[in-house]
């Protein structure tokens, strides 16, 4: 495979371009400390990620801030700790503060001169707008869970991606999906070729 074989690059955003772990960790770490929990950062993030994936599967039409609120409550329940409305709201509104990986803006700017760039993300439009400001590039298309009505790894999200890219004039086989998550992105993208 050669990168020059492609006309379009689709990106997962969180974990790939935006540092999801740092963003979530900035809220969960202090919360866990306040609660006297002795979990390491990695274990806390893994436990949280399972809670978030469950919420996305159970309520696919919910907007991402709602998912974050529910996942925070679920995390607390799984750890035997009550979560206040203020604590769940802190996580629900934190996306705007999540940092971009240092190389993301420059890399995207360079890639935009050669490829059509598309976002396929498990957030809502409002949350993504804050992140896009950090990335500093205009994407040719943005597809969020809010637009699709489901969360990755749903096949539907990737079918909409393929149709959207086709609408941009990209030939079949000329799209490369770029992502960090095997669960949310690599496996379902591979199934659709």
Point out the residues that are catalytic. 12
List all residues 6 or more positions away from 119 whose beta carbon is below 8 Å from its beta carbon: 10, 11, 13, 128, 132, 139, 141, 142, 143, 144
Among left, alpha and beta (phi > 0; psi -120 to 50; other), residue 117 is beta
User: What DSSP line would sit under 60-121, residue for residue?
Assistant: TTS-HHHHHHHHHHHHHHHHT----HHHHHHHHT-GGGPPBPTTHHHHHHHHHTTSEEEEEE
Cβ-based burial of 60 (10 A; exposed 0-12, middle 13-18, buried ≥19): middle
Q: Are 120 and 177 in contact (CB under 8 A)?
A: yes
Other beta carbons less than 10 A from residue 50's beta carbon: 14
């Amino acid at each position: 495979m050669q990168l020059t074989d492609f006309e379009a690059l689709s990106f997962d955003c969180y974990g790939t371009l935006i540092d999801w772990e740092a963003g979530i960790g900035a809220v969960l770490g202090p919360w866990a400390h306040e609660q006297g929990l002795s979990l390491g950062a990695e274990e806390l993030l893994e436990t949280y990620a399972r809670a978030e994936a469950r919420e996305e599967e159970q309520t696919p039409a919910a907007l991402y801030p709602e998912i974050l609120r529910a996942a925070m409550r679920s995390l607390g329940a799984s750890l035997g700790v009550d979560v206040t409305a203020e604590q769940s709201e802190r996580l629900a509104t934190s996306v705007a503060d999540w940092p971009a990986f240092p190389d993301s803006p420059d890399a995207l700017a360079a890639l935009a001169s050669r490829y059509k760039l598309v976002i396929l993300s498990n957030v809502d439009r409002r949350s993504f707008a804050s992140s896009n400001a950090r990335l500093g590039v205009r994407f040719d298309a943005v597809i969020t869970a809010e637009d699709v009505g489901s969360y990755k790894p749903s096949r539907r999200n990737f079918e909409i991606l393929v149709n959207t890219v086709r609408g941009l004039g990209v030939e079949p086989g000329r799209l490369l999906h770029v992502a960090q998550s095997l669960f949310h992105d690599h496996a379902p993208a591979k199934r659709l070729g």
